[in-house]
Chain A
Amino acid sequence: AQSVSQHNHHVILSEAASLELGCNYSYGGTVNLFWYVQYPGQHLQLLLKYFSGDPLVKGIKGFEAEFIKSKFSFNLRKPSVQWSDTAEYFCAAAWAGFQKLVFGTGTRLLVSP
């Protein structure tokens, strides 16, 4: 079965620290990749997505992610986090035909001021 793995379940950083959250997906042919964020008490919001082309994808709020096909990875990065980035981050994938999204278990990020 197709799956998405997120290795970090909880991450605690100080403001201005750099962030990298890992995401790996299983092989299944053509894949579309996403990062969603869920702020406390709010709904899932799309941070960025990769369909094809440049493997370095830039999203909202200074986030970016790099698609590395050989590693089946789509890690999320931000050079300098802010307290307002405290949230849960979900990696998700949709394989050929683009129907359902398969989510990772999520990473809870706490940024201390």
Chain B
Amino acid sequence: EPEVTQTPSHQVTQMGQEVILRCVPISNHLYFYWYRQILGQKVEFLVSFYNNEISEKSEIFDDQFSVERPDGSNFTLKIRSTKLEDSAMYFCASRRGGRTFFGQGTRLTVV
């Protein structure tokens, strides 16, 4: 079965630092997403990306966040200046048709 790949699996960063979370979606998929799950809470939608632009974003996805697909394969989420409350599991997902595939997640810990 095809897979969405995320790196790194765990990232520890100091508050105020920039982090980039990387994802390789499934190659023939057209829609890409980032979700996050704060420990003990529900999985929350952050942003969707289609045709090289953001198609929808949540209230969480403020100016500190950005996404890009620089080379047609990688799909990255950047947090410019991390805050303690950004600590969460971040899931990348891709979709073609009716099925969304999720990556294994990157656990981000902000200290």
- Seen from chain A, the residues whose Cβ lies within 8 Å of a Cβ on chain B are 32, 34, 36, 42-46, 49, 51, 90, 92, 98-106
Q: Which of B90-109 contact A (CB under 8 A)?
A: 91, 98-105
Number of B residues, CB within 8 Å of A = 22
Our pick among A34, A44, A46, A100 for the contact of B45 (Cβ within 8 Å) is A100
A46 touches B42 (CB 8 A): no
Instruction: Provide the residues of chain B in CB contact with A106, threshold 8 Å.
Output: 42-43
A101 to B34, CA, bound (A): 11
B98 touches A100 (CB 8 A): no
Our pick among B45, B98, B100 for the contact of A51 (Cβ within 8 Å) is B98
B98 touches A101 (CB 8 A): no
B42 touches A44 (CB 8 A): no
B42 touches A101 (CB 8 A): no
A-B contact pairs, 21 of them (CB 8 A): A34-B100, A36-B102, A42-B104, A43-B4, A43-B91, A43-B103, A44-B102, A46-B99, A46-B101, A49-B98, A51-B98, A92-B43, A100-B45, A101-B43, A102-B45, A103-B35, A103-B42, A104-B42, A105-B42, A106-B42, A106-B43
- In the complex, B18 has a CB within 8 A of chain A: no
- Seen from chain B, the residues whose Cβ lies within 8 Å of a Cβ on chain A are 4, 31, 33, 35, 41-45, 48, 55-56, 58, 91, 98-105
B100 touches A46 (CB 8 A): yes
CB distance from B11 to the nearest CB of A (A): 16
Our pick among A44, A92, A99 for the contact of B48 (Cβ within 8 Å) is A99
A43 to B4, CA, bound (A): 10
Q: Which residue of A lies closest to B97 (CB)?
A: A98
A99 touches B100 (CB 8 A): no
Q: Which residue of A lies closest to B56 (CB)?
A: A99
A90 touches B56 (CB 8 A): no
Of the candidates A32, A46, A101, A106, the one having the most CB atoms from chain B within 10 angstroms of its own CB is A101
Instruction: Provide the residues of chain A in CB contact with B41, threshold 8 Å.
Output: 105
Q: Which residue of B lies closest to A43 (CB)?
A: B104
A100 touches B43 (CB 8 A): no
A43 to B105, CA, bound (A): 7
A42 to B35, CA, bound (A): 15
